[in-house]
Amino acid sequence: MPDLASILLRRSVGSLDSGRSRCATCSRSPLVGERLHEMDSGRMLCDLCLWELPEEERQAVRSERVHASERQLAVAPRAA
Ligand SMILES: [Zn+2]
């Protein structure tokens, strides 16, 4: 009989991963707080793979930080 806890864990981790951009080199989804860099060629690279490149190729067109959620956090007035 399969271990239910490990199945549920695998599914929840998989759902965290869905919809996020992946690194074109290592296929990893960068963790929250890491940056993803878009290169001239349109490839997206994680921080680690970007620093593996020779310095002359290390020119990202755009860099964006990975956020915990795609949804904006609610901003509400403080309770008195
Ligand atoms: Zn990478």
Q: What is the pTM of this model?
A: 0.60
What distance in Å separates the CA atoms of residue 62 and residue 35, rounded to the nearest whole number?
10
Give every residue of the chain whose pLDDT is below 70, as ranges.
1, 13-20, 69-74
Looking at the domain assignment, is residue 78 inside a domain? Answer: no
Span from the CA of 57 to the centroid of ligand 1 (angstroms)? 15
Span from the CA of 75 to the centroid of ligand 1 (angstroms)? 34
Looking at the domain assignment, is residue 71 inside a domain? Answer: no
Our count of domains for the chain comes to 1
pLDDT value at position 73?
A: 61
Range of the domain at 44: 4-65
Span from the CA of 80 to the centroid of ligand 1 (angstroms)? 47
Span from the CA of 12 to the centroid of ligand 1 (angstroms)? 22
pLDDT value at position 20?
A: 64
pLDDT value at position 13?
A: 66
In sign, the C-alpha dihedral spanning 3, 11, 67, 78 is negative
